[in-house]
Structure 1
Amino acid sequence: MAIQLGDQLPQFIALSQDGTSFDSCGIQHKPVVVYFYPKDNTPGCTAQACSFRDAYQDFQDLGAEVIGISGDSVRSHQNFQDKYKLPFVLLSDADRKLRKLFGVPTALFGFLPGRVTYVFDATGKCIYIFDSLSAKVHISKALQALQSAQ
């Protein structure tokens, strides 16, 4: 069952880029942007990650955390984060459990993991969902949703 507007941020545990266990319970009571992307170090995904990086202070100013999720390994995420100086958490979803938990669809006739951004307010309620392969648009849409919620 896919996350819908009004749904609560699901509870989950996953490995972050530094190999530590990340628990979604630790981000309760603050706005959160969770974005799913296909793969580290691909042109669109790199542009998206760098755009989130460049706007990261804007998200922080709104009290929000940004979390990127893909099926890449912890090691791949660490290299991706180091190479592009990404200031936010990257979670490994190698078994695709998080994609299933959120209900992220596949793209391009099922050949490519989907690119979806979810915005949750400080109460954990989903206030915005953006599903598009257009990588850079996700950042402005997520910021607008957070600004509108304040």
Structure 2
Amino acid sequence: MTTNLSQLPSDLPRPVDDGAAAHLVGTAIPDVALACTDDTVVNLGDLRGCWVLYIYPMTGRPDVPLPDGWDGIPGARGCTPQSCGFRDHYLELQKLGADVFGLSAQTSDYQREARDRLHLPFQLLSDASLQLKEALRVPTFTVAGLELYKRLTLIAVDGEIRKVFYPVFPPDRNADDVLAWLK
């Protein structure tokens, strides 16, 4: 059985704000070099201007089953609709002076498949060694032996985090929420 990754189940559990991201506003983006789906390396600390960094657990693939119980983990399901929302609003975000990166703990090869399949006009960053967890204390969770990031979105201006969306729910509305905040 395949799962339609573009649709969210109607009974998706809502994540609660556990305070794990409360410390991030006003924090400098650290010098963390991450592999990018365009085969470059991006140092987050070097980014200037306005950046939206949406952090998600993992992108599902149509040919790979999701971990057992995935839909029951609050905040886990919805990476594809979240990415598609940023894709669909990308030009609006750029008109407001913001650029976008998606970020997960998956490898760039895995992410490249999602970027291409979903026709994302921006790149995805791989943090397979969880450097942001160490540098910023970004929250994670563990499932099926994998440590993954909890879903959150950061807006950084000239290297400083100005806004944090956490928890992000529903994930398919995250880009709309970011747009509203930027306006």
Aligned partner of 1:126 among 161, 167, 171: 161
* 1:36 corresponding residue in structure 2: 55
Aligned partner of 1:12 among 32, 53, 58: 32
Contact kept, 8 Å, 1:33 with 1:118, in 2: the verdict is yes
Contact kept, 8 Å, 2:168 with 2:174, in 1: the verdict is no
Aligned partner of 1:45 among 75, 79, 82: 79
Contact kept, 8 Å, 2:31 with 2:46, in 1: the verdict is no
If the length of structure 1 is used for normalisation, what is the TM-score?
A: 0.84
Using the TM superposition, give the Cα deviation of residue 26 of structure 1 relative to its aligned residue in structure 2, in angstroms. 4.5
> Letter of the aligned partner of 1:16 in structure 2?
C
Using the TM superposition, give the Cα deviation of residue 132 of structure 1 relative to its aligned residue in structure 2, in angstroms. 1.9
Contact kept, 8 Å, 2:26 with 2:160, in 1: the verdict is yes
> Letter of the aligned partner of 2:121 in structure 1?
P
Q: Are residues 1:22 and 2:58 paired?
A: no
CA distance in 2, matches of 1:50, 1:99: 25
Using the TM superposition, give the Cα deviation of residue 120 of structure 1 relative to its aligned residue in structure 2, in angstroms. 1.4
Pair 1:105–1:24, CA change in 2 (3 A): closer
More helix by share: 1
CA distance in 2, matches of 1:143, 1:9: 21
Contact kept, 8 Å, 2:31 with 2:44, in 1: the verdict is yes
Q: How many residues align?
A: 143
SS at match of 2:129: coil
Q: Which has the larger radius of gyration?
A: 2
Q: Please list the CA deviations of residues 4-32 of structure 1 after superposition, one character each: whole Å capped at 9, or x if unmatched.
A: 2122222221100122211225521x101
If the length of structure 2 is used for normalisation, what is the TM-score?
A: 0.70
Using the TM superposition, give the Cα deviation of residue 140 of structure 1 relative to its aligned residue in structure 2, in angstroms. 1.9
Percentage identity across paired residues of the two chains: 31
Pair 1:125–1:91, CA change in 2 (3 A): same
Using the TM superposition, give the Cα deviation of residue 47 of structure 1 relative to its aligned residue in structure 2, in angstroms. 0.4
CA RMSD of aligned residues (A): 2.1
Gaps in structure 1 of 5+ consecutive residues: none
* 1:62 corresponding residue in structure 2: 96
